Chain A
Amino acid sequence: MKGFMTKIFCIAAPAADAGKTTVSVNLAAAFAALDQNTLLVECDARNRCIEAAVIDPPADAPGLDRVIADAGDAVNFMVPTCIEHFRVLAAGPGPGWAAIEPDRSVFSEISGQDLDVMVINAPEKSGALMEAAVCGADVLILPVRLDLEAAGNISGLLETYKNFLEQVAAFRQKVSAGPSSVRILINGCDDAAEAEAVLGPEVFEAIARLCLPVCIAEDERLHEAMVFGKPVVCHDIISPGAVAFLELAGLWTDIEEIRMEEKKDQIT
């Protein structure tokens, strides 16, 4: 993938609490740890990604709002993180982020910045920006949090994802573009067997082949990392969360073997 066109990943979900920010920050950091020149783009004006990826985040950092308003080149607003090759473009406090023109491919404009990977965190409330992110992405990842609360209402959960996919299909039809691959990422389960227990065997069987082969387990180290403004690969690279995200990033890179100890030495 390195030295080729920027691969754009959009992380989206129909509702809050699916784990979009966690997945976005840690997947982007994992790509960077695998030597991919990576940009994490935040579409949420609350700037959750920059808080979760930067130890001392600048208050109200300008970012995507200024790019959309044509007030400067994206590279001027990219914030470095504790990992080499990993920068964040915040949503920014300005009103511009919500006022994107319908036909503008803002993420393609940003992708021309010598980037191997762009990961976009696209919350459901970001409206037209989410539409632009979904349509501009090569891969759309839908995190699904399968925890105890979800287990109580599986049909309600599935209904929201079905409605969301109908929305994605409508976006694709409108612009005749969009992600060539859409995959479900199971979040909050140790493995596929636990996901099957929560969803029930028949539901799991129906969607299993469309799920990514890595599950993101509930992991204390992962949550600690987010609180301290460090992606988990920077916080504790041998924790299960870090290993899961490196495995996930490895699916889209040409690195056949992830040498954990070597990476650990480089980062620490």
Chain B
Amino acid sequence: MKLARKEIIQACEKQMLKMLVKNLDKSAVKALIREKYDLSPGEDLLFHGGDIAVENNEVVYKLDFSLRVGMTVMVDREGEYVDIRASQKNLSEPPEDGQDSVSGDDSRQLASDIARMLSEINQ
């Protein structure tokens, strides 16, 4: 016996998870990542989805993120692996050669193209 539409329940769950993520203390999450994994996340902590689950007989909300982390890979002069460890470099800074990232350039160009196309239609 169906009492409610499943798409409505799913939409509400999805919305609730998004609201939860929006109100999450990102700096506290980053601090936990630093503490637990000894990693230094950059500014990009991206939400990819979530789920409602049961953990230790309690309802929990699982929030899936991806993050950019700085990693330093070390090789010796022979090309042999030496070590890999978390980098302390700030990922939000532009690369050392002074060039902006490719995706940033792409976005600016695409935004200009969109603006031009809309202006042509709106004339």
Chain A residues with CB under 8 Å of chain B are 147-149, 151-152, 154-155, 158-159, 161-162, 165-166, 168-169, 172, 178-184, 199-200, 202-203, 206-207, 209-210, 218, 220, 223, 227
Contacts and interface: CB of A to CB of B under 8 A. Distances in A.
B3 to A, nearest CB: 14
A222 B87 CA distance: 44
B15 A223 contact: yes
- Per DSSP, chain B at the interface is helix
Interface string B38-60: 00000010111000000000000
Given A152-B46, A218-B22, A172 B121 contact: yes
Contacts of A180: 121-122
Given A159-B110, A180-B122, 16 more contacts: A149-B47, A152-B46, A154-B103, A154-B107, A158-B107, A165-B117, A169-B120, A178-B121, A182-B118, A199-B107, A199-B111, A200-B104, A206-B108, A206-B111, A206-B114, A218-B19
A148 B121 contact: no
Nearest to B5: A51
Contacts of A162: 110, 113-114, 117
A210 B22 contact: no
Contacts of A149: 46-48
29 contacts: A148-B21, A148-B22, A149-B48, A151-B46, A154-B107, A155-B106, A158-B106, A161-B114, A165-B114, A165-B118, A165-B121, A166-B117, A180-B122, A183-B118, A184-B118, A199-B111, A200-B104, A202-B107, A202-B111, A203-B108, A203-B111, A206-B108, A206-B112, A206-B115, A207-B114, A210-B122, A218-B19, A220-B15, A220-B19
Interface residues on B, range: 20 to 34
B117 A169 contact: yes
Nearest to A159: B110
Contact of A169 (B21, B46, B107, B121): B121
B30 interface: no
B12 interface: yes
Interface string B1-41: 00000001001100100110110000000000000000000
Contacts of B46: 148-149, 151-152
Interface of B: 8, 11-12, 15, 18-19, 21-22, 44, 46-48, 66, 103-104, 106-108, 110-115, 117-122
B29 to A, nearest CB: 13
B12 to A, nearest CB: 6
B110 A158 contact: yes
Nearest to B121: A182
A180 B119 CA distance: 11
Given A158-B114, A165-B114, A227 B11 contact: yes
A222 B121 CA distance: 31
A191 to B, nearest CB: 14
A44 to B, nearest CB: 13
B27 to A, nearest CB: 16
A265 to B, nearest CB: 30
A168 B121 contact: yes
Contact of A152 (B44, B106, B107, B122): B44
